[in-house]
Amino acid sequence: MHITIRQLAVLEAVARNLSFTKAAEELHLTQPAVSMQIKQIEESIGLPLFEQVGKKVFLTEVGQEMYSYSRSIQQQLAEAEAIIEDLKGVKRGTLTIAVASTANYFAPRILAAFKETYDKVTFSLDVTNRKGLLSHLDNNDTDLVIMGRPPGNMEVEAEFFMENPLVAIAPANHPLVNVPSIPIVTLLKETFIIREEGSGTRNAIERFVSEHGFEITTSLSMSSNEAIKQAVQAGLGLGIVSIHTLEMELELKRLEVLDVDSFPILRNWYVVHRKGKRLSPVAKAFKDFVVSNARGILALKN
């Protein structure tokens, strides 16, 4: 079997996009050139990689296997390139990072602080929900993931770097504002606006409420912290969000944090990657930087 690195790159792009057209656009090639490269691979291995049903492209069984190998080989080549650059004394490369949507309120500050030392590093940042983060870890297609609770059904390495307190919030004119030591039973008589099913924040809230023998009444579930904060300001209900999402609203007195017994709900932030993953020198440097410096960087800003 004779396959070039260029052909593997074409295979990876077509398999990832399940489209010859999109792969061609991404690689700045013509579609016939992409089709020719795939045909040459198929001729080399003697089996088809793709099948077309109607207008849709699907991977065959051998296509699935070759896609997995092509991704692994490209990742190893990227690691080799980063190591060679490091041996040259050049701290450069691209970091591919996925962060929880809540973490995006502070992640850019950490990236900016890291770039002050590693000024030749570029970043690819995906801000997504828990489902998206788990997909990144499952596919092993990012260097690092910043998230809350690490998955228990996947072999990962997770290192704690900062607490993530969840607090109850209300509009500034709400009757519970400035009431000391609000009992949980009193709080949970209110209607809440919380994150969507499956989000890390919602899972933590539901566990906390269940442990205290209560249920939470929701009027709305929303897929972003910004939407929750806007709805709470509008008087549609109370909210429970990470303290890290509230800097501007608290400063402008648009929202208030309620003083509730047994609150905040304490979660943690972790920097995570698949177990056994060989981090590039830049990725390892960023992981160490986050663990050692994140709390100090954010404390200076708050």
Could you tell me if 191 and 275 lie in one domain? no
pLDDT for the residue numbered 302 = 45
**How many other C-beta atoms lie within 10 A of the C-beta of residue 240?**
27
How many domains, the chain?
Answer: 3
Report helix, strand or coil for 299. Answer: helix
Could you tell me if 168 and 260 lie in one domain? yes
Nearest to 72 by CA among 5, 26, 152, 144: 5
pTM score, two decimals?
0.66
Answer yes or no: is 76 within a domain: no
Q: Cis omega before residue 264 (within 30°)? A: yes
Look up the CATH number of the domain holding residue 110.
Answer: 3.40.190.10
Answer yes or no: is 285 within a domain: yes
Could you tell me if 282 and 139 lie in one domain? yes
Answer yes or no: is 258 within a domain: yes
Answer yes or no: is 17 within a domain: yes
Q: What share of the chain is helix, strand, coil (3-state, %, to 5)?
A: 45, 25, 30
Could you tell me if 168 and 156 lie in one domain? no
pLDDT for the residue numbered 296 = 87
Specify whether the CB–CB gap between 199 and 173 falls below 8 A: no
The tens place of each residue's pLDDT in the chain, 302 residues long, gives 788 889 999 999 999 999 999 999 999 999 999 999 999 999 999 999 999 888 889 999 999 999 999 988 888 888 787 777 665 655 667 889 999 988 998 999 999 999 988 888 888 999 998 899 999 999 898 999 999 889 988 999 999 999 999 999 999 999 999 999 999 888 888 888 988 887 888 888 888 888 888 777 776 888 888 999 999 999 999 999 999 889 889 888 899 999 998 889 888 999 999 998 888 888 888 999 999 999 888 874 44
Beta strands at 50-53 and 56-59: parallel, antiparallel or unpaired: antiparallel
Answer yes or no: is 83 within a domain: no
Specify whether the CB–CB gap between 283 and 95 falls below 8 A: yes
C-alpha to C-alpha distance for 241 and 56, rounded to whole angstroms: 41
**How many other C-beta atoms lie within 10 A of the C-beta of residue 247?**
14
Give me the half-sphere count of Cα atoms (radius 13 Å) on the Cβ side of residue 114: 27
pLDDT for the residue numbered 86 = 66
For the stretch 193-223, what's the b/e string if a residue is b when 16 or more beta carbons lie within 10 angstroms of its beta carbon? bbbeeebbbbbbbeebbeeeeeebeeeeebe
Q: Which domain holds residue 213?
A: 164-266
Query: In terms of residues, how long is the chain?
Result: 302
pLDDT for the residue numbered 91 = 64
Answer yes or no: is 26 within a domain: yes
Specify whether the CB–CB gap between 37 and 49 falls below 8 A: no
pLDDT for the residue numbered 88 = 61
Could you tell me if 118 and 55 lie in one domain? no
Question: Who's near 268: CB < 8 A, 6+ residues apart?
Answer: 148, 149, 160, 162, 163, 164
